[in-house]
Amino acid sequence: MRIFICGFGTVGQGFAEVVADKTSYFKKRYGRDAIIVGAMDSKSYVVDQNGLDPIGLVATKKDSKRVGANTYTDSTAVLDMVDYDILVEVSPTDVNTGGVGLINIKHALSKGKDVITVNKGPLALKFRELMDLAKTNGCLLRFEGSVGGAMPIINLCTESLAGGEIKSVRGILNGTCNFILSKMDNGQPFEQALKEAQQMGYAETDPTNDIEGYDTACKVVILANSVFGRDVSFKDVDITGITSITEDAISMAASRNMVIRLIGEVSATKLEVSPRLVPKGHPLGISGTLNTAQILSDIAGPITVSGRGAGRLETASAILSDLIAVMDKRLL
């Protein structure tokens, strides 16, 4: 199975390492290798129809800050340089336009290629269009890692809980906000907690997508469309971030044995991101950077899942699960 990786930052490099580590697994399960035939970052690319060394790609990126010696201006032209079976699209998220990720995904699907992505922007803006394009061209489009990173939720709802009716999903879907709010529980002002999150690499230099709730909103849209069969986009979400939460609000919550957490909730009729009061000890009252979600099913009842919502290998693990699903479908 031939793989092209678009986006070779933290997650792309982590996935390359996982491909290298699971060589024996692929051979045992499928009798063949999963090989990387192309990789592209924001400025450069490298392709080889016979396969590239995954660890060599990571080393090159680390040493030169580029994945390859060749530069490009049109990512779709690079995709057409080599024959691949699966596009792994992990370029940076653009919640306003979908960015190059949307262009790459549409191009691959139109060419009959299966796609795995963790890129929230295209899914939050053009979910139905992308799914229809995949269906028209007989492709698979999978995106487990787009919500919750290593926390299994999409495939859990759509596959493991198949046959039952999912009534609602609500949860902490952004580890950065949860880290900040957890620090505020311990008396830190918002700005100090945000600065610490940035210093530790949990928050970007521009933290807007996290603290204004936009990242969580994207994930809520993806859940609404994939789990509940809705046709909504980012603009349909009622969003309130955490920037207005004061130390007084945190203290008042604590006096009631509660904490404030940014909760995303989705159902057949609801699409909301907002800070909410959560009782201490409740599954959604966790501290730190973990993501957690409660799934309410008519048959299985309430199910709680949690895991790391971001990270090099954590997100790569979700991509791996989708890769195996695709390979099972195509090769077994």
Residue range 45-81, pLDDT digits in tens = 999 999 999 999 999 999 999 999 999 999 999 999 9
Alpha-carbon distance of 268 to 225, in angstroms, equals 10
Cβ contact 93:218 at 8 Å? yes
Intervals of CATH 3.30.360.10 along the chain: 156-308
Residue 125 scores a pLDDT above 90: yes
Query: Tokens standing for 108?
Result: 């691959």
Digit-coded pLDDT (tens) for 244-283: 999 999 999 999 999 999 999 999 999 999 999 999 999 9
Q: How confident is the model at residue 121 (pLDDT cuts 50, 70, 90)?
A: very high
Rg (CA), the chain: 20
Cβ within 8 Å of residue 82, ≥6 positions away? 2, 4, 37, 38, 47, 48, 49
With the C-alpha atoms ordered 215, 221, 224, 229, is the resulting torsion angle positive or negative?
A: negative
Cβ within 8 Å of residue 219, ≥6 positions away? 120, 146, 147, 148, 173, 174, 264
Give the catalytic positions in this structure. Answer: 219
Intervals of CATH 3.40.50.720 along the chain: 2-147+312-331
User: Which residues are registered as beta bridge partners of 259?
Assistant: 278
Residue 202 scores a pLDDT above 90: no
Task: Show the CA angle centred on residue 332, arms to residues 27 and 11, nearest 5°.
Answer: 60
Average pLDDT, whole number, for the chain? 96
What CATH fold (topology level) applies to the domain 2-147+312-331? Rossmann fold (3.40.50)
pLDDT of residue 309: 83
Digit-coded pLDDT (tens) for 203-239: 888 999 999 999 999 999 999 999 999 999 999 999 9
Residue 87 scores a pLDDT above 90: yes
Alpha-carbon distance of 32 to 24, in angstroms, equals 9
pLDDT of residue 312: 85
E runs forming strands in 82-177: 86-89, 114-117, 141-142, 166-172
Helix axis angle, 10-21 to 312-331, nearest 10°: 50
Give the residue carrying structure tokens 């969003």: 239
Integer angstrom CA distances of residue 155 from 113, 313, 320, 322, 331: 21, 19, 13, 9, 20
Cβ contact 4:89 at 8 Å? no
Query: Tokens standing for 262?
Result: 């940014």
pLDDT of residue 296: 97
Query: Tokens standing for 207?
Result: 């933290």
Residue 243 scores a pLDDT above 90: yes
Alpha-carbon distance of 14 to 149, in angstroms, equals 13
What are φ and ψ of residue 88, in 5° steps?
Answer: -105, 105
- Burial class, 191, CB count within 10 angstroms (exposed 0-12 / middle 13-18 / buried 19+): exposed
- Burial class, 42, CB count within 10 angstroms (exposed 0-12 / middle 13-18 / buried 19+): middle
- Second CATH level (architecture) for the domain 156-308: 2-Layer Sandwich (3.30)
